[in-house]
Each structure stands twice: as C-alpha cells, then as structure tokens.
Amino acid sequence: MRTILLILLLASINTMKSFKEYLIENQQIKCDVNGICKIIREYESAGNEEKILGVYKDSKGLDTIGHGHLITKNSPAIIGKAIKDPNRVSRILASQDRMTPEEAESLLRIDVESRLPTVKKLAPDFENYSQELQAELASETFRGMTGKSPKAMQHLRAGKFEEAAQEYLNAKDYRESVRDETGIAKRMKNLSDAIRMEGQRRAKSQAASKQTTQAPRSSSTSQTAPSR
C-alpha cells in the first residue's frame, strides 16, 4: 500500500502529466542497441506513443504496429516473442486489443536484433563505425533504402566515405522527398551526414596516430671531427 501511495505521489508532482504518462516514461524495459532503438523511435513513433500500441497505417498505407513493425504473415510469431499469450496477439492484430508500452519496446528490440545481421553483412566494418552511423545505417537498412543504393554501399565498404555520402543522396527517393517535403529526405540526409562524419573522424584519428608514432627530433647536433 505504501509503495502505491509513493508512486501516486511522485506521479502527481508534475500535474501536467497523467499517471499513465508517468509510468510510460519510467518503464524498466528499454531497447538501446547501440542507439539504434532511439533513432527508430524518433523516426517512427515520436509524438504517436499511444497510437503505435495498436494497428495503424504507415505513410504508405500499410498495416503497422509498434515502433515501425510492418505487419506481415510472420508477424504473429514475431510479436508472440514479446507477448507470450497467443490469444492476445490475435486480438491485437485484429484491433481488438492493444500492446503495452513495455511490449512495444520488447518488439522493437526483437526487430532490431533480428535484422542486425543483415546490416552487418551489408557493411562488414559496422562494429567499428561511430554509434551515430551504426544507428542511421541500421534505420535506413530496415526501411529498405540502403538496398536501393548499392553503389553508395560499395563505396562505404571500400572506406570511400565522401563518395558514399554523395552517392546515397543521388537517388530518386531523395529528390522526390525534397520536392514533396516529406520526412524521407531528412532520414536520407542524416545517414549521408553520418557517413561523411565517419570519414572525417577516421582521417583525424589517422593523422593523430601518425603524429604520435613519429620519432622525436634529437635536440643535440651531431659533432663530427673534420676530415684530414
């Protein structure tokens, strides 16, 4: 009883937030796989935290649930890993029930962890990238966009970061999004910028490494006897 009263008291400190919002913000289950989950949340569900707990239509009109999980024939089995009750899974997919925020987080983690091998195959040096590039690359790969730009990914694998950054934006999807002012352009630009920053980061690191490995010059001058 005391625990419940304490929670209610803490939740009431900020009168602008409901008890439900307080619980959502302080949930224990968090998906934070190299920052990838955070990026996906920002792109897919920020501002729609209530909506995504049930089935909804994405920007293309396709049935989606959670933080951007596209509903397919495999979804019942995948969602079942986050929600152990098969009956609830069926009801949720039939729009007769809704997930909890914790279940949505679990589904996000399952999706990210199951798709990471595809990203790492696309970019074998993935583990050595900055966390920002890892997150942006994973997000765009999950969305199917990096597969549309094989030349950019080829440059990335070769360590040609500037070329990869430029080539990724040389795409019909990017140009159309800029024209139509949709969010796709921003996501593509963010990945392009992260690729470019990775190249700059590595160049600085290599320059610093080269400086530290150079032998220091001797302060003494060599004295040689004059030849006779």
Does pLDDT of 23 surpass 50?
no
Buried b (16+ CB within 10 A) or exposed e, 6-17: eeeeebeeeeee
Average confidence (pLDDT) over 117-144: 93
Average pLDDT value over all residues in the chain: 84
Q: What is the rounded CA–CA span in Å between residue 228 and residue 221?
A: 21
Number of H-type helices and E-type strands within the chain: 11, 3
Write down the pLDDT at residue 72: 96
pLDDT tens-digit series, residues 46-94: 899 999 999 999 888 999 999 999 999 999 999 999 999 999 999 999 9
Q: What is the rounded CA–CA span in Å between residue 56 and residue 69?
A: 10
Write down the pLDDT at residue 101: 94
Of 150 and 220, more confident? 150
The residue type found at 205 is S
Does pLDDT of 149 surpass 90?
yes
Task: Scan for tokens 């490494």, then name that residue.
Answer: 209
Buried b (16+ CB within 10 A) or exposed e, 42-76: ebbbeeeeeebbebbeeeeeeebbbbbbbbeeebe
Write down the pLDDT at residue 13: 42
pLDDT tier, 40 (very low <50, low <70, confident <90, very high otherwise)? very high
Average confidence (pLDDT) over 183-206: 95
Q: What is the rounded CA–CA span in Å between residue 208 and residue 202?
A: 10
Average confidence (pLDDT) over 179-189: 94
CATH 1.10.530.40: which residues of the chain?
27-122
3-state per-residue secondary structure call for 17-41: CCHHHHHHHCCCCCCCCCCHHHHHH
Does pLDDT of 205 surpass 80?
yes
Q: Which CATH class is domain 27-122?
A: mainly alpha
Does pLDDT of 24 surpass 70?
no
